[in-house]
């Protein structure tokens, strides 16, 4: 009688009891190091995704490999070096995503049938396939996928989902999967943002002339094609204004990080900040509600480049309100979100 091959990874029995529940936190991605080679590898993976760049490959890939990956990595590496966490030798996004997973695990210690919590990056390491395999090897037959994007976009949430289901295609024994929906209007999220602003205002900085809610930009064509991102950003801002009792001048909405010649969502954050300064605003604060954790875009772009632009336009004081990261407020919000989505499983 022929023997069954028990060494195939997909046939290995988990070392722990089966039927456990897993939770996988997923954020965008990060280079492994802040040198040009690592950044080039990361950008190649990121910018090759058809969800991110919707041009046909025969048109886009020669531009990517012939121009962008020859010129851009050095500049991006310099930006990463300006924010790199030397103590742990990692990017802030990787640092905070890991700490969010650890903090959430501690908060759920007393939860009956506590889930096994992992974390991954859509681009870079730890990869989604590796993280899902690790959860399966710990006996997880049901996994909640939690994309850490408050507002849905095909360029972010859908890209995560694509990778998750591509991973499932390679498995003979597939776990049951749930996907946490975008949480742009969830009361726990709005409350966490409001508390972070109130904490900033109560710290003695004084009331700024305006607070700018800056979201990551998106080509206008994406929204014209049906992407709900812009309307979800607008709803987050509207709910946050209502919670704080602010008007449209006190809490303004804008979009950052545009790239390339296409028309992107407006107003642009850098231009909005310059306009505020030219209009007489001396003190502004910027919050980034579309980011679950501080990263290159919040620390280097918002925290450094846009600060300089505001000052050059005549502004005096510029404050950056940190992302929720692994703060008590942020972890409490994540706990509420995942427990809601794990209903019936734990």
**Tell me, what's the pLDDT at 17?**
61
**Tell me, what's the pLDDT at 2?**
42
**Tell me, what's the pLDDT at 58?**
94
255 three-class SS: strand
Residue range 115-120: mean pLDDT, rounded: 97
**Tell me, what's the pLDDT at 110?**
84
Q: What is the dihedral of CA 94, 97, 102, 105, to 10 degrees?
A: -150
Would you list the domain boundaries of the chain?
Answer: 187-321
pLDDT confidence tier of residue 276, bands split at 50, 70 and 90: very high
In the chain, % of residues over pLDDT 70: 95
Residue range 241-248: mean pLDDT, rounded: 98
pLDDT at 11 over 80: no
Average pLDDT, the chain: 94
pLDDT confidence tier of residue 112, bands split at 50, 70 and 90: confident
pLDDT confidence tier of residue 259, bands split at 50, 70 and 90: confident
| Selected residue with higher pLDDT from 193 and 3 | 193
Asked if 303 and 231 touch (Cβ cutoff 8 Å), the reply is no
Helix residue ranges per DSSP H, the chain: 36-47, 57-63, 69-83, 92-107, 128-137, 157-169, 187-201, 220-224, 229-244, 269-278, 296, 306-312, 328-341
pTM (whole model) above 0.85:
yes
Collect all residues with Cβ–Cβ distance below 8 Å to 111 and sequence separation of at least 6: 339, 346
Reported as a single tens digit per residue, the pLDDT across 79-108 is 999 999 999 999 999 999 999 999 999 999
pLDDT confidence tier of residue 14, bands split at 50, 70 and 90: very low
**Tell me, what's the pLDDT at 260?**
78
Residue range 263-291: mean pLDDT, rounded: 98
Residue range 301-312: mean pLDDT, rounded: 98
Question: Which range is least confidently modeled, 13-22, 138-147, 164-173, 275-284?
Answer: 13-22
Question: Which range is least confidently modeled, 14-28, 122-136, 152-166, 217-231?
Answer: 14-28
**Tell me, what's the pLDDT at 16?**
54
Q: CB neighbours (10 Å) of residue 25?
A: 24
Q: CB neighbours (10 Å) of residue 78?
A: 13
CATH of domain 187-321: 3.40.50.1400
Residue range 117-133: mean pLDDT, rounded: 98
pLDDT at 5 over 60: no
Residue range 218-225: mean pLDDT, rounded: 96
């Amino acid at each position: 009688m022929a023997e069954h091959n028990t060494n195939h990874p997909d046939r290995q029995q988990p070392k722990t009891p089966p039927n456990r529940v897993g939770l996988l936190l997923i954020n965008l991605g990060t280079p492994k190091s802040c040198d040009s080679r690592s950044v080039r590898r990361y950008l190649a993976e990121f910018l090759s995704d058809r969800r991110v760049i919707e041009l046909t490959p025969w048109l886009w890939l020669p531009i990517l490999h012939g121009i962008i990956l020859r010129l851009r990595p050095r500049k991006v590496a310099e930006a990463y070096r300006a924010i790199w966490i030397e103590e742990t030798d990692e990017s802030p996004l990787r640092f905070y995503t890991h700490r969010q997973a650890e903090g959430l695990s501690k908060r759920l210690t007393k939860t009956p049938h506590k889930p096994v919590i992992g974390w991954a990056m859509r681009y870079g390491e730890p990869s989604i396939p590796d993280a899902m395999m690790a959860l399966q090897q710990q006996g997880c037959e049901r996994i909640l996928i939690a994309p850490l994007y408050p507002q849905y976009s095909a360029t972010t949430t859908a890209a995560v989902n694509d990778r998750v289901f591509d991973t499932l295609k390679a498995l003979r024994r597939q776990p049951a999967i749930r996907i946490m929906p975008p949480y742009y209007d969830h009361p726990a999220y709005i409350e966490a943002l409001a508390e972070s602003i109130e904490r900033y205002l109560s710290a003695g900085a004084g009331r700024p002339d305006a607070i700018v809610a800056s979201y990551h930009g998106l080509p206008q064509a994406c929204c014209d094609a049906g992407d709900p991102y812009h309307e979800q950003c607008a709803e987050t801002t509207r709910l946050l204004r209502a919670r704080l009792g602010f008007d449209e001048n006190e809490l303004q909405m804008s979009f950052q990080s545009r790239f390339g010649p296409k028309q992107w969502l407006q107003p642009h954050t850098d231009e909005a900040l310059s306009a505020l300064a030219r209009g007489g605003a001396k003190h502004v604060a910027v919050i980034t509600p579309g980011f679950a954790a501080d990263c290159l875009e919040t620390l280097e772009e918002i925290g450094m480049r846009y600060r300089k632009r505001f000052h050059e336009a005549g502004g005096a004081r510029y404050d950056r309100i940190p992302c929720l990261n692994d703060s008590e407020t942020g972890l409490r919000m994540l706990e509420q979100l995942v427990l809601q989505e794990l209903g019936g499983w734990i």
